Amino acid sequence: MTPFSTRLRIAILLLLLTVAAACARGGGESVPASDEPASATGGAGGEAPSSGTSPPEIRLVAVTPAVLSEGESVTIVVAVDDPDGPDDILGGRLLDATGSIQLGLFERQSDGRFSYTVSWQQLDAYQEIAFEQVGARPLRVLFIDNQLHQASRDIQLTLECRGYPACQGHCASAAAPDLCSHCDDDALCCQAARSQVPANTLCSDQLNLFTTFKDCVCNQCASVCGKYCVPTNAWVTEACYSCLSTSCVQPLSACFWKQPGCG
Quote the CA–CA distance of 189 and 167 in Å, as a whole number: 12
Domain spans in the chain, listed from the N-terminal domain onward? 57-160, 178-263
Please tell me whether residue 159 adopts helix, strand or coil conformation: strand
Residues 11-34, mean pLDDT to the nearest whole number:
51
Residue bearing the bigger pLDDT, 18 or 57: 57
Quote the CA–CA distance of 182 and 91 in Å, as a whole number: 40
State the pLDDT at residue 165.
85
Closest C-alpha to 120, from 59, 54, 62, 73: 73
Cis preceding-peptide flag for 49 (omega within 30 of 0): no
pTM above 0.85, yes or no: no
State pLDDT tens for residues 36-88. Answer: 333 333 333 444 444 568 899 999 999 999 999 999 999 999 999 999 999 99
Question: Per DSSP, which regions of 65-106 are E strands?
Answer: 67-68, 73-81, 89-96, 102-105
CATH class of 57-160: mainly beta
Name the average pLDDT for the chain: 65
Write down the H helix ranges in the chain.
3-24, 120-126, 220-225, 253-256
Whether the per-residue pLDDT at 100 is higher than 90: the answer is yes
Name the DSSP letter for residue 158. Answer: E
Residue-level length of the chain: 263
